[in-house]
């Protein structure tokens, strides 16, 4: 299929953040970090991460006198070098599993700067957190009872209770955690539950924090602020009922949505603070220490995925570019394209922005199912075999949370910095090596290859084939 040239619009050159990413992609191709032998990789702008963290701190510092611990939601980029960078920037870490807790410790976060959230913590997980002195937010009244059984008076852990303010959902149901039937937290508007929460704090002098997280992508700042305001009012009610300042801190979660339509950070952290101050001005009077748990909004726009175009084909009047970036790295976009649209950049085989008339093209991935498409009928300069595409705004979740469909190996991830002042171009540092096929085989049970064939044969598990061949 040849693109029409009559009055066809030309693709504009990259601008803003995208221009920096274009420079990084070109250098990655030149350095061999992206090419035929390594056809997909993730890239993270380390200076961009630092700027985002600084913007978060500045937004809350604009209200003086309020102690705030900003934690990074580890699930958004569960990569030790990334977590260590964030720790160096003054962040704490929010974790939601034993694996994430281990990564946070390995990254160097002090225990008192780690917060453990999860709706299904085991006793062993709780024992470890309490022994380390990690803050824990119980997700239910039953978990509070379990913590009471396990805790030692010597534990340094700050202990809280997650509540669900039930203020409703945003435009993406799966990302809305304050709906009437959400699995998270104690549902405040259910009959009799609010009274149970007040009583739980009255009976437990060691319980000093409330936690709420309304949602993330698809939830506007005003909805999030409404849920936090309800949590603040509950804290006031509890302290009045108990007669002392039992609650001294409020964990307001994270969830600021990301703009996927252009390079701009919108809404900003300052916009969110303004929404919070309008909804709950008393939250910032200094009586409560605050904790935040931002993830996607800190990293998403600071990273991209680069992928090689392996083939192109035409089907039903549509051009299809088959690349190595599909559902294994862009799972949410593939299965919910309207909720998680990605901007796509088109580059030639040298990594330079491809120019020319625009052509509607599907950008498809390598996974073996028909829906593995990251962009449908996207107007781009015509892509060819050996070209590259960039998937923008993928610095959070995408390349760090790989889906092992078709046993596709995890891609390499690199951090980069632009040395404009020294004229040095772009420098890269490894974050995660590309997964080897040996590792794929090992994770797929290679060490136990004969265990099932030996079942029922009377032979030791793992010895079946060896003994039968004697």
User: Please, is 285 exposed, middle or buried when counting C-beta atoms within 10 Å of its C-beta (0-12, 13-18, 19+)?
Assistant: exposed
How does the average pLDDT of the chain come out, rounded?
92
Are 260 and 39 spatial neighbours (Cβ–Cβ below 8 Å)? no
- What is the share, in percent, of the chain residues with pLDDT greater than 90? 84
Residue 470: the pLDDT is 44
Residue 8: the pLDDT is 38
Residue 10 pLDDT more than 60?
no
Residue 15: the pLDDT is 58
Residue 423: the pLDDT is 61
Q: What digits encode the pLDDT tens for the residues 186-199?
A: 999 999 999 999 99
Q: State the Cα angle at 53 between 49 and 58, rounded to 5°.
A: 145
Q: What digits encode the pLDDT tens for the residues 245-271?
A: 999 999 999 999 999 999 999 999 999
- The residue ranking higher by pLDDT, 74 or 164, is 74
Domains of the chain: 17-43+302-425 (2.40.37.10), 46-300 (3.20.20.10)
Which two tokens mark 377?
């009928």
Q: State the Cα angle at 363 between 357 and 366, rounded to 5°.
A: 145
Residue 422 pLDDT more than 80?
no
Output the DSSP codes for 91-149. -EEEE-SHHHHHHHHHHT--GGGEEE--SS--HHHHHHHHHHT-EEEESSHHHHHHHHH
- What is the share, in percent, of the chain residues with pLDDT greater than 70? 94
3-state secondary structure of 281: helix
Mean pLDDT of 316-330: 97
Are 158 and 251 spatial neighbours (Cβ–Cβ below 8 Å)? no
Residue 460: the pLDDT is 72
Q: What digits encode the pLDDT tens for the residues 51-106?
A: 999 999 999 999 999 999 999 999 999 999 999 999 999 999 999 999 999 999 99
Residues 6 or more apart whose Cβ sits within 8 Å of residue 14: 21, 22, 345, 353
pTM over 0.85: yes
Residue 2 pLDDT more than 70?
no
Mean pLDDT of 19-26: 96
Mean pLDDT of 402-413: 97
Residues 6 or more apart whose Cβ sits within 8 Å of residue 319: 1, 312, 313, 359, 360, 361, 362, 382, 383
Are 170 and 226 spatial neighbours (Cβ–Cβ below 8 Å)? no
pLDDT band at 218 (very low <50, low <70, confident <90, very high): confident
């Amino acid at each position: 299929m040849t693109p029409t040239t009559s009055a066809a619009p030309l693709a504009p050159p990259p601008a803003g953040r995208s221009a920096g990413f274009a420079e990084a992609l070109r250098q990655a191709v030149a350095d061999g970090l992206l090419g035929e032998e390594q056809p997909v990789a993730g890239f993270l702008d380390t200076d961009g991460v630092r700027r985002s963290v600084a913007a978060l701190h500045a937004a809350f510092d604009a209200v003086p006198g309020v102690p705030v611990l900003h934690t990074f939601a580890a699930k958004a980029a569960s990569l030790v070098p990334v977590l260590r960078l964030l720790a160096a920037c003054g962040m704490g870490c929010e974790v939601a599993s034993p694996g994430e807790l281990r990564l946070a410790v390995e990254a160097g976060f002090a225990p008192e700067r780690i917060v453990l959230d999860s709706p299904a913590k085991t006793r062993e997980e709780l024992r470890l957190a309490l022994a380390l002195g990690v803050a824990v937010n119980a997700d239910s009244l039953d978990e509070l009872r379990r913590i009471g059984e396990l805790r030692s008076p010597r534990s340094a852990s700050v202990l809280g209770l997650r509540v669900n303010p039930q203020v409703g959902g945003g435009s993406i149901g799966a990302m809305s955690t304050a709906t009437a039937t959400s699995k998270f937290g104690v549902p405040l508007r259910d009959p009799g539950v609010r009274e149970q929460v007040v009583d739980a704090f009255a009976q437990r002098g060691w319980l000093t924090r409330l936690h709420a997280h309304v949602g993330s992508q698809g939830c506007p700042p005003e909805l999030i602020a409404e849920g936090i305001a309800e949590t603040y009012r509950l804290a006031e009610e509890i302290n009045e009922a108990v007669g002392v300042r039992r609650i001294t801190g409020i964990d307001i979660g994270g969830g600021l949505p990301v703009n996927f339509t252009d390079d701009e950070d919108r809404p900003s952290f300052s916009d969110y603070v303004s929404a919070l101050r309008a909804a709950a001005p008393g939250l910032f009077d200094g009586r409560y220490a605050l904790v935040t748990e931002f993830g996607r909004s800190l990293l998403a726009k600071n990273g991209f995925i680069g992928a090689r175009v392996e083939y192109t084909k035409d089907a039903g009047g549509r051009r299809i570019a088959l690349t190595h970036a599909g559902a294994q790295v862009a799972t949410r976009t593939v299965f919910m394209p309207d909720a998680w649209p990605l901007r796509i950049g088109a580059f030639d085989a040298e990594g330079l922005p491809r120019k020319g008339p625009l052509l509607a093209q599907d950008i498809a991935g390598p996974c073996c199912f028909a829906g593995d498409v990251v962009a449908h009928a996207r107007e781009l300069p015509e892509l060819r075999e050996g070209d590259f595409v960039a998937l923008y705004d993928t610095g959070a979740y995408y390349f760090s949370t790989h889906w092992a469909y078709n046993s596709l190996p995890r891609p390499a991830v690199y951090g980069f910095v632009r040395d404009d002042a020294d004229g040095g171009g772009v420098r890269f540092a490894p974050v995660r090596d590309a997964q080897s096929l040996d590792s794929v085989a090992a994770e797929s049970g290679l060490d136990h290859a004969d265990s099932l064939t030996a079942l029922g044969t009377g032979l030791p598990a793992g010895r079946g084939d060896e003994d039968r061949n004697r």
